[in-house]
Amino acid sequence: MTLGRFSIHCDGVQLALSAKTPRKPLELLALLIAAGKNGLSREKLADRLWPAADGDLAAQSLATTLHRLRGLLKTSDAVLIAGDQLLLNQDLVWIDSWHFHWLALQIETTMDRAQRLQLIEKALALYAGPLVTGNDHLSMIVGTTQRLHRQWLQVLAAALPYFVDNLSPPAAKDALITALMDKETADALVAPFTSSRKKDEQVSAIVRKSRKIASELMLAEPGGRTPKKTKLPSVH
C-alpha cells in the first residue's frame, strides 16, 4: 500500500519493516513506484540514489541494492531488467497508486454515465490519502505525489455532479463531504465548472449547490473552522 500509508505485503502477509531494515532497497522501491510501469534506467536510478558516487561505484551499489530488494520482496522476479531499464513486474506486483492512476485516466475517457460512476466509486474507495513511500524526501517522489493529488481532485470533480443530484455512492459521498469541508479544496473542485465554456443550467446548478453544501459543512464545524489540511511539498 502506498496511498495514505506505506506497507508491503507478500502472499497476503505484511512485511515487518523497522529501523533496522536497510534503507537503500526501500529507496529503490520508492523510485520504481514513482517511475511507473515503464521503470527507470539504471543510470538514472544510480544517480538519484548515489549522486556523489562515481559511475562504477554507483553501478555496483545499485546491483547490490537490487539484489537486496528482490530478497525483501521474496522473489527475484518482482523486479525486472529490460535492457537498461529496471521495472516492477506487473504480473507479480500490485501497486494501489498505480491502479488509482489507471482508474483516474479511465474516468476521463469514459462517456457512459453509469460506468463512469462505478469507476469514480472504485477510485475514491482506493484513495486513502497522499502517496506515502517512506522516502518522500526524494524529488521524484514529490512530483508523483503532486500528480496523484491533482488526479484525486479531478476524480472528486467528476463525482460532484452525481453528488449534488444525490446519486453518488457511499465512498464518493464521504470523500466529497470531507473535501468540501476544506475551503481551498472546495474552490478547486468547483473551478473546472466555473471556467467551463458550457454555461448551461446544469453547470450553474452544480456550482450553486456545491458552494451551498460547502458553506453549510464549514459552518457545521466547531467554531466554524475548516479541518487542517496537509500541505504538499513543492518541487524546486
pLDDT at 86: 97
pLDDT given for residue 201 in this prediction: 63
User: Based on the domain organization, do 199 and 144 belong to the same domain?
Assistant: yes
**CATH number of the structural domain spanning residue 51:** 1.10.10
Q: Is the pLDDT of residue 13 over 80?
A: yes
> Do 79 and 105 have their domain in common?
no
Do 101 and 209 fall within a single domain? yes
Is 123 found in the same domain as 68? Answer: no
Residue 217 lies in a domain: yes
Q: Which of 13-27, 170-184, 200-214, 221-235 is predicted most confidently?
A: 13-27
Domain end (from 88, 113, 135): 88
Residue 23: give the domain boundaries. 9-88
pLDDT digits (tens, 9 = 90+) for 100-142: 999 999 999 999 989 999 999 999 999 999 999 888 778 889 9
Using 50, 70 and 90 to split pLDDT, how confident is the model at 221? low
Domain membership of residue 162 (yes or no) is: yes
Summarize the confidence of residues 204-227 as an average pLDDT. 62
Does residue 76 sit in the same domain as residue 39?
A: yes
Q: Are residues 220 and 103 in the same domain?
A: yes
Residue 4 belongs to a domain? no
pLDDT band at residue 236 under the 50/70/90 scheme? very low
Position 20 in a domain: yes
For residues 214 and 152, state if they share a domain: yes
Q: Which of 63, 88, 113 is the last residue of a domain?
A: 88
Q: How many domains does the chain have?
A: 2
Distance CA 233, CA 131 (A): 12
